[in-house]
Amino acid sequence: MTGANAISEARLRARNQLTLPDAVVRAAGLAEGERFLVEIAPDDPDTVRLHRIRTSYAGALAEVYGRASEALEDAREGWE
């Protein structure tokens, strides 16, 4: 996400199509073709959550291990 806050109204159209407002698309840094998981909790059916499905997880755990090259060197030292 880009960190901007956006609240906009959207309307469900024919064939169950939902168009996201431009302000929401810009604030979330979305692009055409992105996929989402739709979540509705049984105890709160009026709230619908969209979770973006990542196309790649490359670099997602960078903070966990630090630089990949350093982690690899550390692992190799243990082989000796």
Question: How many degrees, rounded to 5, is the angle at CA 40 between CA 5 and CA 16?
Answer: 85
Predicted TM-score (pTM) above 0.75? no
Q: Considering the domain boundaries, does residue 28 fall inside one?
A: yes
Residue 17: pLDDT above 70?
yes
Residue 36 lies in a domain: yes
Residue 3 lies in a domain: no
Mean pLDDT of the chain: 86
How many domains does the structure of the chain reveal?
1
In a domain, 38, yes or no: yes
Q: What is the DSSP letter of 30?
A: -
Residue 31: which domain range? 12-77
Residue 43 lies in a domain: yes
State the Cα–Cα distance between residues 77 and 10, nearest whole angstrom.
Answer: 56
73 occurs within a structural domain? yes
In a domain, 17, yes or no: yes
